[in-house]
Each structure stands twice: as structure tokens, then as C-alpha cells.
Amino acid sequence: MSFFKKIFNKEKKETLDKGLEKSKTTFFDKLNKAVAGKSKVDDSVLDNLEEILVSSDVGVTTTLKIIDRIEARVAQDKYVGTGELNKILREEIAGLLSEIDSGNATDFVVPKHTTGPHVIMVVGVNGVGKTTTIGKLAHQFKSQGLNVVLGAADTFRAAAIDQLQVWADRTGVPIVKQEMGSDPASVAFDTLQSGLNQNADVIIIDTAGRLHNKVNLMNELTKVKRVMQKVITDAPHDVLLVLDGSTGQNAFEQAKQFTAATEVTSLAVTKLDGTAKGGVVIGISDQFQIPVKYIGVGEGIDDLQVFNKFEFVDSFFK
């Protein structure tokens, strides 16, 4: 299979390799123990592999798909040595991700719209790295020479507004905000108006991350979108859900909750560098059929990367 072509630059690839180091080391420590003393891939190896994939937060549904694919390879090839397992795993996971719209870009891209700026509404619970992701996105877009405007529509917490202000100052982009407790839809409305007035290319709207009452969350996000459309008819163009990769299965649960509350069109998975749970990206990509657009593989301002499934799998199984 000719899935793997070197398309990232060297620096980005090294950052990705380093960011996935903990996940990779933990996975292969388990895999090496599972195949110790075995010469061929048999049922016991596959049972152990299934357990390893599930414990690496790939998720049960996706794990079973991967095991089925490997069983088919083993049956077809008659004899598969354990030394080939890494290569087969790498190819079959890349093949699985190739069957879904799971990220194949190499750089930050902003679509053009006849109605005005590209509008991204960012959702996610508190603490997942939502504000940091917005700040790093703003930095990436601005570094391409694009005009970016931020909107602080998470008015539930004063800290959220203050944090976004810090990122606006750091990246040198304008921010639209109101007092804590203000109507989030009003902030979104003002932000889109301001973005139009400033000929913005990209508008990024932060929203509150409360999940204690899904009905309220749904109503709030629906209202924010409806009010935005009074200014730009097809806004938001992207509803980006930010998930903390270090929480493993909890990230799956958050994805379920938010996809039930609003129409999520893309995902960002953060904090992959501090965890051994990098497999969550594979599972979430497959299970929700929503493209993973960005991954966080470090704390630096440039360590938010566009997710490329081939480069990710290549780094994970290197």
C-alpha cells in the first residue's frame, strides 16, 4: 500500500514524532510483551492486540474493525510473522482512516465565501484547551497574512473572557467582548458585524462549555447560530469541537454529548504530547465520522498542527 508520502516539513514532523512519543512507547511496550516468544500472528496474539488497542483508547468499535482487517490479512496471506505486525497495523489503520473524511490537509486553509469572512464557532467543555486552541489558530491564520477577529461569547466565566484577551494581545488580533453574564448571542452578533467592518478573513467565536444541562446548551448554541445568520447568512461555516486527548474515553463521551447538542463539523484533539492516549484520535476519527482537523502536540504557539492521517499513523508506528 502506498499510503505514506513525506508531505510535512521536517520541523513539523519532528514535533509530531515528539508529541506522540508517550503514546507510541506505551503501545509498543505492550505489543512487544504480547508477541514475546511468538513467531506468527495467531488467535492469542490477536486477542492481546485487541486488549492493547482498547487500553490505548482507540475504542471498542474501532478496535474490532482493525482486528477484522488484520484477521482478513492473516487469512489471505496464510502465514504472517509477528515481526510483520507493526507494518500491517500501520497499513490497516491508515486504510481505515482513508475510508472516512478524517483529515488529509498539510496546512491551515481558510475557504473563501461570497457572503464574507470564514466563521468558526468553537465549542467544548472548560479545561480542554479551547481558548488556547483559538489563540493558536488565530496565530496560524495571522501568520499567513489573514485578518482575524476573535469573539468572547463564553460569557459564563470571567476567566474565559480574560484568557481570550490574553491570546488576542499575544497574537495581535482584535477581540470583541462584553461583560461577564452578557448574552452570548449578542457578543457573536457584534463580533460578526465588527469582522465585516474590518474586512476580516476569519472570525473565531468562543462559546461556553457547560454540559450539566444539555437542553440549555443546545438552546444556547442554536440561538448563537441563529443570531449570527442575521449578519452572515451561512454562518458559522465550521463548528469546531475541542477535545482533551489526555482524557481518553471521556473525550468520546464529550463528543457524544456535543454532537447531540449541536451540529459539529470538525474536531480538534489537544494535549496529545502529555499522554499515552494518542489512540483516541484514531477512534474518534472513525466512530464519529467527523473530520479531525487539528491536533495539539505541544505547548508552543506553533504546536497546534493540521491533522494529517498519514503523517499521524506514520509517526505513531514509526
Q: Between 137 and 24, where is the model more confident?
A: 137
State the pLDDT at residue 98.
81
Q: Between 104 and 49, where is the model more confident?
A: 49
Residues at the annotated binding site? 124-131, 206-210, 270-273
State the span(s) of the chain assigned CATH 3.40.50.300. Answer: 118-308
- pLDDT higher than threshold 50 for residue 228: yes
Q: How far apart are CA 111 and CA 119, in angstroms?
A: 10
What pLDDT band is residue 227 in, cutting at 50, 70 and 90?
A: very high
The 10s digit of each residue's pLDDT in 76-133 is 887 678 788 888 998 998 888 887 765 556 678 888 998 899 999 999 988 899 999 9
According to CATH, the topology of domain 118-308 is Rossmann fold (3.40.50)
**Mean pLDDT taken over the chain:** 89
- pLDDT higher than threshold 50 for residue 240: yes
State the pLDDT at residue 1.
44
State the span(s) of the chain assigned CATH 1.20.120.140. Answer: 10-98
According to CATH, the topology of domain 10-98 is Four Helix Bundle (Hemerythrin (Met), subunit A) (1.20.120)
Entry pTM? 0.91
What share of the chain has pLDDT > 90, as a percent? Answer: 48
What pLDDT band is residue 261 in, cutting at 50, 70 and 90?
A: confident
Mean pLDDT value across residues 259-282: 88
State the pLDDT at residue 217.
81
- pLDDT higher than threshold 80 for residue 215: no
Residues at the annotated binding site for GTP? 124-131, 206-210, 270-273
Q: What is each CA distance from 160 to 76, 175, 190, 209, 210, in whole angstroms?
A: 55, 13, 18, 10, 12
* Chain CA centroid to CA 205, Å: 17
Mean pLDDT value across residues 193-215: 87
